Amino acid sequence: MTASTSKTLRGPRAGLIYSKIEFKDQIDKAVFPGVLGAPQNSLLPGLAVALKYVKTPEYRQYAELCVENARTLCESLDYFGYKVLTGGTDTNIMAAIISHTGINAKTLLNLA
As a whole number, the mean pLDDT across the chain is 86
pLDDT over 90 at 22, yes or no: yes
Asked whether residue 40 falls in the same domain as residue 7, the answer is yes
* Host domain of residue 89: 57-111
Asked whether residue 61 falls in the same domain as residue 83, the answer is yes
User: What is the rounded average pLDDT of the residues 59-85?
Assistant: 92
Asked whether residue 66 falls in the same domain as residue 98, the answer is yes
The pLDDT assigned to 31 comes to 83
Asked whether residue 35 falls in the same domain as residue 68, the answer is no
Total count of domains within the chain: 2
The pLDDT assigned to 4 comes to 85
* Alpha carbon separation from 25 to 21, 30, 31, 87 (Å, rounded): 8, 9, 10, 37
pLDDT over 70 at 112, yes or no: no
Asked whether residue 62 falls in the same domain as residue 107, the answer is yes
User: What is the rounded average pLDDT of the residues 13-21?
Assistant: 88
